[in-house]
Amino acid sequence: MNLRRYLTIYGALWKTSVTREMSFKGNFILWIVVEMLWFGLQLSFVGVIFSQTSTVGTWTAWQVVLLTGTSNFIQQIYQAFFLVNCTNLSELVRTGKMDFLLMLPVNTRFVVSTRQVDLPSFANAAFAACVMVFAAHRLHLHPAPAQLLGFAALCVAGLLVHYSLMFLLASVSFWTVRAQGIVWGYFNLFNIARMPDEAFRGVFKAVFTFALPVLLVSNVPVRVLADKIASPVAWLALLGLGLVWAAISEWFWRLSVRRYTSAST
């Protein structure tokens, strides 16, 4: 019954988002075009790199295209469901609109995280999926059902990592009021996820593999899909870090909400 109630609420939020997007059709189409052009530039960058070399570590050109497509797919799905909501948290705190959300008979984090849906991102995610399929075709990949299931599960784990980290950073708004810079700073780190992990070394690789597991988010699913993973350590690390960051994010959210005193006091 509780699940049905939340699904009903989420359906209403979706309906509102669709109505909002369709009220500005020009903006809807323009945003899709802009994101597709940016994705095209990312693919062009791959072409530039492989015009000078045949491999990056053990990664071939089409494997990196598959990686870029997967990274963009995960990023666009994240944008569709969570990005706008995370970035808007500081405005809710600053303007006092958080008061209203806290009074609703529903989990506050659920409402804060799902208030808006970015519909253009679904179109861009579909385009990224087409690039992934084409790259897999060029690589002559024939993944087994278990690989596809593992790939999907690891993509979900990657989404959980991104959401947990960005929501944790957004929760800093309860302490500093304006935290958009911090949130967008992490969002810009998404670009690292489209690079092969073997392109990095030393402290940089360690930080973005374990502390902020951006490199794991797309590299591990692609390695599973392309039979480039030799041991379960990498995917276990991604799954484990997803759960760890989710727990830390929830703890910090509750701590931050207790500090909230309302903009009207």
Answer yes or no: is pLDDT of 139 > 70. yes
Answer yes or no: is pLDDT of 27 > 80. no
In a domain, 95, yes or no: yes
- CA-to-CA distance for 127 and 139, rounded, in angstroms? 19
Residues spanned by the domain of 244: 2-259
Q: Which two tokens stand for residue 118?
A: 């970015």
Convert the pLDDT of each residue in 164-186 to its tens digit: 999 998 898 888 766 677 777 77
The pLDDT value given to residue 6: 87
- Least Cα distance to 56 among 48, 252, 110 occurs for 48
Residue 118: what are its φ and ψ, rounded to 5°? -90, 95
- Least Cα distance to 179 among 249, 90, 110 occurs for 90
Tallying the residues shown for the chain, one arrives at: 265
pLDDT band for position 197 (50/70/90)?
confident
Q: Which amino acid is at 66?
A: L
DSSP string, 116-163: ---THHHHHHHHHHHHHHHHHHHTT----HHHHHHHHHHHHHHHHHHH
Answer yes or no: is pLDDT of 198 > 90. no
Please state the rounded mean pLDDT for residues 72-77.
93
In a domain, 110, yes or no: yes
In a domain, 264, yes or no: no
Flag the least confident range among 5-14, 18-27, 94-103: 18-27
What separation in angstroms does the CA of 183 have from each of 129, 167, 219? Answer: 26, 8, 23
Contact 18, 119 (CB under 8 A): yes
246: helix, strand or coil: helix
pTM (2 decimals)?
A: 0.89
User: What is the distance, to the nearest Å, from the Cα of residue 10 to the centroid of all Cα atoms in its chain?
Assistant: 19
Contact 68, 187 (CB under 8 A): no
- CA-to-CA distance for 82 and 156, rounded, in angstroms? 13
Q: Which two tokens stand for residue 171?
A: 């929760």
Contact 212, 189 (CB under 8 A): yes
Q: Which two tokens stand for residue 48?
A: 């530039």
Q: Would you give the DSSP letter of residue 80? A: I
pLDDT band for position 208 (50/70/90)?
confident
- CA-to-CA distance for 125 and 171, rounded, in angstroms? 27
Flag the least confident range among 27-41, 68-82, 178-192: 178-192
Q: Which two tokens stand for residue 225?
A: 């899909």
The pLDDT value given to residue 253: 94
29: helix, strand or coil: helix
Q: Which two tokens stand for residue 236?
A: 């276990």
Contact 59, 196 (CB under 8 A): yes
Q: Would you give the DSSP letter of residue 55? A: E
The pLDDT value given to residue 160: 93
User: What is the distance, to the nearest Å, from the Cα of residue 37 to the centroid of all Cα atoms in its chain?
Assistant: 19
Q: How many domains does the chain have?
A: 1
Contact 173, 179 (CB under 8 A): yes
Convert the pLDDT of each residue in 33-52 to its tens digit: 888 888 888 899 899 988 88
